Chain A
Amino acid sequence: MKTQQRIITFCLTFSILFLFWVIFSGKLDIFHISLGVFSCLLVSWVTSDLLIVTSDIPRFIRLFIGFILYIPWLIWQIVLSTIHMLPIIFSPDINNKINPKIIKIRSKMRDNVGLVTFANSITLTPGTITVALNMYGDMAVHAIDDECADSLPGDMGKKVETLFRE
Chain B
Amino acid sequence: MTVYISGILIACGLFFFLVGSIGMIRLPDFYSRLHAAGIIDTMGLLLSMSGLAILVLNEITLGNFLSALKIIFIVVFVFLTSPTATHAIVDAGIRAGLKPWQKNNI
Question: Taking beta carbons and an 8 Å cutoff, which residues of A are in contact with B?
Answer: 23-24, 26, 28, 75, 78-79, 82, 85-86, 89-90, 94-96, 98-102, 119-120, 123-132, 142, 144
Find chain A residues with CB under 8 A from B83 CB. 119-120, 123-124, 130
Q: Are B16 and A23 in contact, with the CB atoms below 8 A?
A: no
Q: Are A124 and B102 in contact, with the CB atoms below 8 A?
A: no
Given A89-B23, A131-B94, residue A142 in contact with residue B31 (CB < 8 A): yes
B41-72 residues at the A interface, CB under 8 angstroms: 41-43, 46, 62-63, 66-67, 69-70
CB distance from A90 to the nearest CB of B (A): 8
Q: Are B38 and A126 in contact, with the CB atoms below 8 A?
A: yes
Overall SS of chain B's interface: helix
CB distance from B58 to the nearest CB of A (A): 18
Q: Are A144 and B32 in contact, with the CB atoms below 8 A?
A: yes
Q: Which residue of A lies closest to B82 (CB)?
A: A124
Q: How many residues of B contact A (CB 8 A)?
A: 40
Q: Is B36 an interface residue (CB 8 A)?
A: yes
Question: Taking beta carbons and an 8 Å cutoff, which residues of B are in contact with A?
Answer: 16, 19, 22-23, 26-29, 31-32, 34-36, 38-39, 41-43, 46, 62-63, 66-67, 69-70, 73, 79-80, 82-84, 86-87, 90-91, 94, 100-103
Given A23-B69, A100-B101, residue A82 in contact with residue B90 (CB < 8 A): no
Q: Are B42 and A124 in contact, with the CB atoms below 8 A?
A: yes
Give Cα A43 to B84, complex, Å: 26
Give Cα A91 to B64, complex, Å: 42
Q: Are A129 and B102 in contact, with the CB atoms below 8 A?
A: no
Q: Are B43 and A78 in contact, with the CB atoms below 8 A?
A: yes
Find chain A residues with CB under 8 A from B101 CB. 100
Given A89-B22, A132-B94, residue A119 in contact with residue B70 (CB < 8 A): no
CB distance from B53 to the nearest CB of A (A): 13
Q: Are B43 and A126 in contact, with the CB atoms below 8 A?
A: yes
Find chain B residues with CB under 8 A from A98 CB. 27-28, 32, 103
Find chain A residues with CB under 8 A from B31 CB. 100, 129, 142
Q: Are A89 and B26 in contact, with the CB atoms below 8 A?
A: yes
The 3 closest A-B pairs by CB, nearest first: A123-B83, A120-B83, A89-B23
26 contacts between A and B (CB under 8 A): A24-B70, A82-B16, A85-B35, A85-B39, A89-B19, A89-B23, A89-B26, A94-B27, A100-B29, A101-B102, A119-B87, A120-B84, A123-B38, A123-B83, A123-B87, A124-B38, A124-B41, A124-B42, A124-B83, A125-B38, A127-B35, A129-B34, A129-B38, A131-B90, A131-B91, A132-B91
Q: Are B38 and A100 in contact, with the CB atoms below 8 A?
A: no
